[in-house]
Amino acid sequence: MTVQCGCCGAEITSTDRIDYRLNRPEQLLGVPGDRLAAPTGGLLVGPAGDSYLRCLLPVRLTGGTELVFGAWTQISKVDAMYVHAVWDNDSEYANLRLAGRFANVIKPWDVFGVPVEAAVLNADELPYFTSHPLLDREWDRDEVLSRIRHPLPVPVRETFGEVWTIERTEGMRCSIEGSTVRFSSPGRCVHIDVYADLTGGSVSDFLGAVLDGYPASAEHSVDHDGEELRHAFWLSEVIDGHEEQVFHGHVVRPGTMLSVRCVHRYPADRTWARHVLNSVRYIG
């Protein structure tokens, strides 16, 4: 599957380094573009003369993945003038060192406004942060990558309702529509809902209430494993004028259920849809 960068649209082929460019400093979000100046490829100047330099922030994740943010640091006007002066001079640019304050919000961390330092490590690249709270330790891969809703070149395990997890397949974008979380990519879509049962009834009764109105003629599969019930069936539906294959899956525990609805056009994706359901885990 082809995975495209959510920032520039380029195809992503590496799974051990993921580059993720943050668009603007927080202070400049919503400012019209014609009020901003970009004297170099790495400098951005706001309406009040506030200056920002884009630097690279490599964050080590579990599983051998490195997430490299293209992030902003606010620097002084004097430093901005110096950066502008040396930007196209390789020998002087290679010696660039500066300090500032981190100018982006990155979840799940609280790093906005912290003091940072940066230096040029490679004359062919932007400066790298050399002093930053996220450096020098390893962070949980799924906890970090699940905050990025753009398509990623690796699968990510997402958490729902604090008691369920499910795998978001590589190449899928994450969005929220009301109470439903949606994973999507060309030709594929997953709708995920979590339901609570406050009646205290059995898991079979809970599932039956959710399935009320679906055709009984569909081919259903049901598996019980202790307190857990897994159920699935297929339907063929016309969506936006096209006949689509729709896989409905449910994992039920006493008091809670995770429901997935996988829509795809090609029969070969039946295995993928089943994998989505099989990836559901109860962690409560």
Query: What pLDDT sits at residue 198?
Result: 87
Whole-angstrom Cα distance, residue 140 to residue 63? 9
| Among the four given CATH numbers 3.40.1000.10, 3.40.1410.10, 3.30.70.860, 2.130.10.10, the one describing domain 155-282 | 3.40.1000.10
| pLDDT at site 176 | 95
- Which residues touch 271 (CB under 8 Å, ≥6 apart)? none
The span from the CA of 107 to the CA of 181, in Å, is 19
- Nearest Cα to Cα of residue 202 among 259, 284, 277, 257: 257
When pLDDT is averaged across residues 166-195 and rounded to a whole number, the result is 96
* 148 and 173 Cβ atoms separated by less than 8 Å: no
User: Structural domain boundaries of the chain?
Assistant: 3-139, 155-282
What integer is the mean pLDDT of 147-168?
96
Residue 99 has pLDDT above 60, yes or no: yes
Averaged pLDDT of the chain: 91
Distance CA 44, CA 25 (A): 9
Is pLDDT larger for residue 201 or for residue 237? 201
Name the E strands within 145-227. 156-160, 164-168, 173-177, 180-185, 188-196, 220-225
Q: What is the pLDDT of residues 206-224, one digit of tens each?
A: 999 988 877 776 678 999 9
Rounded Cα gap, residues 20 and 56, in angstroms = 10
Sign of the C-alpha dihedral, residues 126, 23, 109, 150? negative
Distance from C-alpha of 190 to C-alpha of 220, rounded to nearest angstrom: 19
Q: What is the pLDDT of residue 8?
A: 45
pLDDT bin (cut points 50, 70, 90) of residue 164 is: very high
Indicate the helix (H) or strand (E) that contains 142.
Answer: helix 141-145
User: Which segment of 23-32, 95-104, 214-223 scores lowest on mean pLDDT?
Assistant: 214-223
Q: Which long-range contacts (CB under 8 A, 24 or more apart) does 4-13 make?
A: 4/151, 5/150, 6/148, 6/149, 6/150, 6/151, 6/173, 7/70, 7/150, 12/151, 12/152, 12/153, 13/153
pLDDT band at 148 (very low <50, low <70, confident <90, very high): very high
Q: How far apart are CA 100 and CA 79, in angstroms?
A: 9
Percent of the chain with pLDDT over 90: 79
258 and 192 Cβ atoms separated by less than 8 Å: yes
User: Can you give the pLDDT at residue 70?
Assistant: 97
More confident residue, 14 or 44: 44
pLDDT at 237: 75
pLDDT band with cut points at 50, 70 and 90 for residue 120: very high
Distance CA(34)–CA(64), nearest Å, equals: 41
What is the value of pTM for the model shown?
Answer: 0.86
